[in-house]
């Protein structure tokens, strides 16, 4: 209790996992900055102690549940997750004396599912079915939470504690790290917590910060954000982003522009980050950074554009970094010589 993200009791010392969440570096992506004439900056969320941007949301949700009294000592946190929220929640549950029960679509990477089990979560994999189906993993997790004594449902998609965590920590950090010199904020959305929390904060500081929603194929949000309604086309191998609906966390967030990125472009982007910047990143980072580059093209040189480096490539080694898996999905593994020097 009384613990806030980004707060330390003593300079330089974090009290456990909880206080180690946040205050991530903002990394300048050198090659892409040079190619575009813009400053392309990535918020290094993979450096959170649980390894992803979702540590912040998980912590915000847990602290609010403790403060409201909904979560009692020894209680259980139930969540439907593509993996990273479950990983963050499970670390936090271990640190604070709770149990975690995670419902995850069986289509998510073996690395994330295996890691959840290693961390001690009770994991139930379920078939991936659309949101309208009562057995969709999110709806199922809500039902299981209501039937489990002493459990709360984290409900990351529609629990506004998620975006409040980003409004209170990620947004202020970006503003501070850029000294307020930021022209555009670009991010894909899964729950919308990261995009909306940061966008709302930045717009409060300066109306002129352009907020750009990045989206993979197979998601309905690009079409929605550009005024054509909720329509999805195609599909994507990226995990944790895109949606068929507007969540409570995304609702009301400022959106000035939207960019859709295909998987092959996202792949080329993460391989370029690996080979030219030394950054080993997950698929959503490919969508984010490629959308930041497209935003740089739309705005022209001389602008500062911030996006998110959500998680590490380690979580997708058997997929995005495996030539055979990629080719089974109709994608080709980028070759070193194709990436601009």
- Active-site residue set: 54
Region from 51-59, 207-215, 251-259, 318-326 binding ligand PMP, contact rule CB under 6 A: 51-59
For ligand PMP, the binding residues in 218-277 under the rule CB under 6 A are 239-241
d(CA 270, CA 285): 7
- Closest CB 16 distance from ligand PMP, rounded Å: 23
d(CA 124, CA 117): 10
Place of tokens 């990045």: 214
> Does 194 sit near ligand PMP (CB under 6 A)?
yes
> Does 311 sit near ligand PMP (CB under 6 A)?
yes
For ligand PMP, the binding residues in 102-131 under the rule CB under 6 A are none
Sign (positive/negative) of CA torsion 324, 326, 329, 332?
Answer: negative
**HEC string for 274-326:** HHHHCCCECHHHHHHHHHHHHHHHHHCCCCEEEEECCEEHHHHCCCCCCHHHH
> Does 305 sit near ligand PMP (CB under 6 A)?
no
> Does 90 sit near ligand PMP (CB under 6 A)?
no
d(CA 290, CA 175): 22
> Does 93 sit near ligand PMP (CB under 6 A)?
no
- Closest CB 95 distance from ligand PMP, rounded Å: 20
> Does 309 sit near ligand PMP (CB under 6 A)?
no
> Does 191 sit near ligand PMP (CB under 6 A)?
yes
- Closest CB 86 distance from ligand PMP, rounded Å: 10
Smaller CB separation from ligand PMP, 142 or 282: 282
Half-sphere exposure of 18 (CA within 13 A, CB side): 19
> Does 310 sit near ligand PMP (CB under 6 A)?
yes
How many Cβ atoms from other residues are within 10 Å of residue 203's Cβ?
18
> Does 292 sit near ligand PMP (CB under 6 A)?
no
d(CA 176, CA 201): 12
d(CA 274, CA 65): 38
- Closest CB 189 distance from ligand PMP, rounded Å: 4
Specify the 3-state DSSP secondary structure of 62: helix
For ligand PMP, the binding residues in 11-30 under the rule CB under 6 A are none
Region from 90-98, 144-152, 193-201, 292-300 binding ligand PMP, contact rule CB under 6 A: 193-201
- Closest CB 243 distance from ligand PMP, rounded Å: 8
Region from 192-200, 206-214, 223-231, 270-278 binding ligand PMP, contact rule CB under 6 A: 192-200
What is the separation of C-alpha 138 from the centre of its chain, rounded to a whole number of angstroms? 17
- Closest CB 150 distance from ligand PMP, rounded Å: 26
> Does 82 sit near ligand PMP (CB under 6 A)?
yes
Of the candidates 269, 210, 271, 213, the residue with the CA atom closest to the CA atom of residue 242: 213
Specify the 3-state DSSP secondary structure of 140: helix
Specify the 3-state DSSP secondary structure of 186: strand
> Does 306 sit near ligand PMP (CB under 6 A)?
no
> Does 193 sit near ligand PMP (CB under 6 A)?
yes
The closest residue (CB) to ligand PMP is 240
d(CA 292, CA 27): 14
Q: Which residues of the chain form contacts with ligand PMP (CB under 6 A)?
A: 52-54, 57, 82, 84, 188-195, 239-241, 282, 284, 310-311
């Amino acid at each position: 209790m009384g613990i806030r993200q980004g707060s330390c009791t003593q300079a330089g010392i974090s009290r456990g996992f909880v206080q180690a969440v946040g205050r991530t570096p903002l990394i300048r992506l050198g090659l892409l900055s040079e190619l575009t004439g813009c400053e392309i900056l990535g918020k290094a969320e993979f450096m959170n102690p649980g390894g992803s941007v979702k540590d912040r949301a998980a912590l915000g949700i847990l602290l609010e549940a403790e403060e409201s009294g909904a979560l009692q000592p020894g209680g259980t946190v139930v969540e439907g997750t593509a993996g990273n929220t479950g990983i963050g929640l499970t670390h936090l549950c271990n640190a604070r004396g709770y149990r975690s029960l995670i419902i995850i679509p069986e289509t998510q990477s073996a690395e994330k599912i295996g890691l959840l089990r290693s961390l001690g979560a009770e994991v139930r994999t379920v078939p991936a079915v659309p949101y309208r189906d009562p057995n969709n993993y999110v709806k199922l997790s809500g039902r299981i939470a209501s039937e489990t004594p002493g459990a709360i449902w984290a409900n990351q998609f529609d629990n506004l504690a998620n975006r409040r965590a980003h409004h209170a920590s990620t947004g202020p950090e970006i503003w501070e790290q850029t000294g307020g010199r930021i022209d555009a904020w670009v991010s894909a959305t899964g729950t919308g917590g990261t995009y909306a929390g940061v966008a709302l904060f930045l717009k409060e500081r300066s109306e002129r910060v352009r907020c750009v929603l990045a989206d993979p194929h197979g998601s309905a949000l690009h079409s929605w954000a550009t005024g054509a309604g909720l329509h999805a086309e195609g599909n994507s191998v990226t995990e944790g982003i895109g949606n068929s609906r507007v969540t409570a966390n995304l609702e009301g967030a400022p959106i000035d522009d939207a960019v859709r990125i295909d998987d092959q472009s996202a792949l080329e982007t993460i391989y370029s980050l690996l080979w030219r910047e030394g950054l080993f990143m997950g698929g959503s980072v490919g969508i984010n950074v490629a959308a930041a580059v497209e935003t740089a093209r739309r705005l022209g040189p001389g602008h500062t554009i911030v996006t998110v480096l959500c998680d590490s490539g380690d979580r997708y080694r058997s997929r995005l970094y495996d030539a055979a898996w990629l080719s089974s999905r109709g994608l080709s593994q980028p070759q070193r010589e194709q990436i601009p020097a």
